[in-house]
Amino acid sequence: MITRPMNPLPKRILRMIALAALFSLSLFAQTDPSAPTIMRRGPAPGEKPAVALSPAVIVAKGQFGAATTQTLTLSNRTAEEFAFEMMAQDVVVRDGKRVFVNAGELPNSIAQSAEFSLKSGVAKPFTSVTVDVRLTVPKQTDIRAVVAIFHGTHVISKSRNSVGMIASLGTLITFSLTDNIALTPAAVKVVANRDEANITVTQPIANSGKEPVLPQGVAAILNSHGNLVAKSTFEPQRLLPGERLNFTTEYGGHLARGTYKVLCSFEYEGKELTSAGTFNIR
């Protein structure tokens, strides 16, 4: 039998394989739910001690029945331990206001599907704890937002004369699942005060669709000749389905006496919304 001698693999390829194997092993370590990642971190110079949560907001797009796993990191930048329990709540809009509902209380709850890699824990002083949350969107639901909360549970006060207040933080997770995206504007309101050189433009907008949107807009002020004389940006605000908010911007410059037109233009999910109004400076 004739055998051919094997060509030895170059050392560079062997090194790459070894690195890949080590990386893969590190993935195993991170997916172990009983082993949260803990990182030591001291407070930055001048930083006020606080508990911080990252990310603040997660915007997910997909389809009914799909699942997502997200990693949340709680940083305890205080000298005290922060004991917590993980909980999820559905966020819906009732009578124009956001309401936070315990998991499972609403039909087709997304929060009920929440699986946390760590159900409770303690963040030691100046450390961070990471928790993975897996959420599955039911095959049919009107819910589009969930909040995953690090719910503080530590005992903080034993005084009879004081009321203890425990801090908790949540990450807002929104889901876009259909193409039913629609905003409905109401009439633009302008409050112009020439003496104070201040013009406030308010554009009420309602989310009349089924999906959360984050409109970004600008107000343009045109004089009677149609020339642009001022421009001001609206602060972006997230609108959940059924929610109605006032988008307000202020222009601090002086405008001469006269009649003006204000054009409000918003962009959201590749769409545009425009509305107009007029006002006088006397």
Q: Which of residues 135-174 bind other proteins (CB under 8 A)?
A: 137, 147, 149, 151-152, 154-173
Site residues for other proteins, 189-228, by CB under 8 A, read none
Of 145 and 192, CB closest to other proteins = 145
Contact status: 236 vs other proteins (CB under 8 A): yes
Question: Quick one: 162 or 227, whose CB is closer to other proteins?
Answer: 162
Q: How far is CA 124 from the centre of its chain?
A: 26
Question: Please, what is the minimum distance in Å from the beta carbon of residue 17 to other proteins?
Answer: 5
Q: How many residues bind other proteins (CB under 8 A)?
A: 81
Q: How far is the CB of 278 from other proteins (least distance, A)?
A: 27
Any bridge partners for residue 217, and if so which?
266
Q: How many CB atoms lie within 10 A of CB 237?
A: 16
Stretch of residues binding other proteins (CB under 8 A), selected from 23-31, 180-188, 197-205, 268-276: 23-31
Pairing of strands 120-123, 57-61: unpaired
Per CB under 8 A, contacts with other proteins among 93-122 are 97-100, 102
* Sole window of 3-11, 191-199, 218-226, 256-264 interacting with other proteins (rule: CB under 8 A): 3-11
In the bound state with other proteins, the residue whose beta carbon lies nearer, of 170 and 209, is: 170
SS3 38: strand
For residues 192 and 249, which CB has a smaller minimum distance to other proteins in the complex? Answer: 249
66 is an interface residue for other proteins by CB under 8 A = yes
Helix (H) or strand (E) holding 12: helix 11-31
Nearest residue (CB) to other proteins, 18 versus 186: 18
Residue whose token pair is 């020439």? 194
- Pick from 39, 67, 197, 228 the residue near other proteins by CB under 8 A: 67
Q: Which is nearer to other proteins, 107 or 236 (CB)?
A: 236
- DSSP secondary structure letters along 198-235: EEEEEEEEEE-SSS-B--EEEEEEE-TTS-EEEEEEPP
Q: Shortest CA distance to 205 belongs to which of 268, 269, 145? A: 268
Helix (H) or strand (E) holding 31: helix 11-31
Question: Does 230 engage in binding with other proteins (CB under 8 A)?
Answer: no
Residues 6+ apart with CB under 8 A from 22: none
CA-based nearest residue to 88, from 107, 68, 115, 67? 115
CB atoms within 10 A of CB 258: 13
Q: Token pair 């020339």 is at which residue?
A: 227
Among 54, 180, 184, 274, binds other proteins (CB under 8 A): 54
With binding defined as CB under 8 A, does residue 51 bind other proteins? yes
Rounded CA Rg of the chain: 26
Considering only the stretches 18-26, 189-197, 198-206, 269-277, report the one whose residues sit in contact with other proteins under the rule CB under 8 A: 18-26
